[in-house]
């Protein structure tokens, strides 16, 4: 069921950050930085996969994501909701249920047997597809999913995520140059503001995380092993 009323984008961002903090999806560690998928160090790490285990929070955030997409892209803008393997699959299913649309998912690479498909489910030529993922950092991983969708003859001009890093300035340009608009609920800046308000981490940790967020590449260069 599609919610008929919803908070402002600013309130949704704040509440999303609060929920991520509440379930322990936000991790800050400046003494032993995390290693990102890129191999680079980071004092912050977000685990949106935890959301699937918290029904009330999960439901609220999927309401938020659905109305955000509909408000930004249009109420009749899509024919199919696709999840990116693997983290995007449950969220795509939940958004598709709310929008009463077919759901599919996109593999990272062909499965190597059978039809060797990257798209699972029914996707047809001309369908307007929304790609749903848990998060995006620099936007690069989304392009392969988008290309796989377009290879079917469908179109994909929008991607929706729960969490957007918003610290790498090229992200939205990378997606935009590929003809894709990004929709999100909250960013590291929203999480940092809520973490400060809650005093969820020691002040020295929050200060170091803020330093990283302001100059991520410089921080990573200084903390390479």
pLDDT tens digits for range 144-172: 999 999 999 999 999 999 999 999 889 99
pLDDT of the residue at 122: 97
pLDDT given at position 100? 96
Expressed in angstroms, the distance from the first to the final Cα of the chain is: 49
On the question of pLDDT at 113 being above 80, the answer is: no
Q: Residue 180 maps to which CATH number?
A: 3.40.50.2020
pLDDT tens figures, 186-210: 999 999 999 999 999 999 999 999 9
**What integer is the mean pLDDT of 35-42?**
83
For the whole model, what pTM was predicted?
0.94
What is the C-alpha separation between 205 and 201, in angstroms, rounded?
Answer: 6
Question: What pLDDT was estimated at residue 6?
Answer: 83
Full residue range of the structural domain in which residue 194 is found: 14-28+37-219
DSSP letters along 104-161, please? Answer: EEE-SS--SSTT--SEES---TT-EEEEEEEEESSSHHHHHHHHHHHTTT-EEEEEEE
Residue 154 lies in a domain: yes
Per-residue pLDDT of 62-89, as tens digits, reads 999 999 999 999 999 999 999 999 999 9
Indicate whether 224 belongs to any domain: no
Q: Quick check: is 83 in a domain?
A: yes
| Residue 5 belongs to some domain of the structure | no
What is the residue-averaged pLDDT of the chain? Answer: 93
Residue 3 within any structural domain of the chain: no
Domain-embedded: residue 181: yes
Bridge partners of 131, per DSSP, are 82, 159
Number of domains in the chain: 1
pLDDT at 139: 84
**Is pLDDT of 126 > 90?**
yes
**Tokens at 207, concatenated:** 């200060």
pLDDT confidence bin for 114, thresholds 50/70/90: low
pLDDT of residue 4: 63
pLDDT of 36 reads: 81
Decide if 130 contacts 95 (C-beta within 8 A).
yes
Q: Does residue 209 belong to any structural domain of this protein?
A: yes
> What pLDDT does residue 141 have?
84
pLDDT at 111: 73
Distances 191 to 19, 65, 67, 141 between C-alpha atoms, Å? 10, 17, 21, 23
Residue 24 lies in a domain: yes
């Amino acid at each position: 069921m599609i919610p008929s009323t919803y908070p402002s984008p600013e309130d949704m961002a704040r509440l999303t950050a609060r929920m991520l903090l509440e379930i322990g999806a936000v991790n800050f560690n400046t003494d032993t930085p995390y290693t990102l998928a890129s191999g680079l160090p980071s004092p912050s790490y977000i685990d949106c996969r935890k959301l699937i285990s918290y029904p009330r929070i999960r439901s609220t955030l999927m309401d938020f994501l659905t109305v955000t997409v509909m408000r930004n892209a249009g109420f009749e803008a899509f024919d199919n909701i696709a999840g990116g393997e693997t983290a995007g699959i449950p969220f795509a299913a939940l958004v598709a249920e709310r929008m009463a649309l077919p759901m599919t998912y996109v593999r990272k690479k062909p499965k190597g047997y059978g039809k060797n498909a990257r798209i699972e489910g029914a996707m047809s030529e001309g369908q307007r597809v929304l790609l749903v993922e848990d998060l995006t950092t620099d936007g690069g991983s989304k392009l392969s999913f988008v290309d796989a969708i377009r290879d079917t003859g469908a179109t994909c001009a929008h991607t929706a995520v729960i969490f957007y890093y918003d610290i790498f300035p090229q992200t939205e340009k990378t997606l935009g140059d590929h003809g894709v608009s990004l929709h999100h609920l909250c960013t590291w800046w929203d999480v940092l503001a809520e973490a400060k308000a809650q005093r969820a981490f020691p002040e020295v940790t929050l200060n170091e995380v803020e330093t990283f967020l302001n100059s991520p590449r410089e921080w990573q260069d200084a903390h390479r092993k």
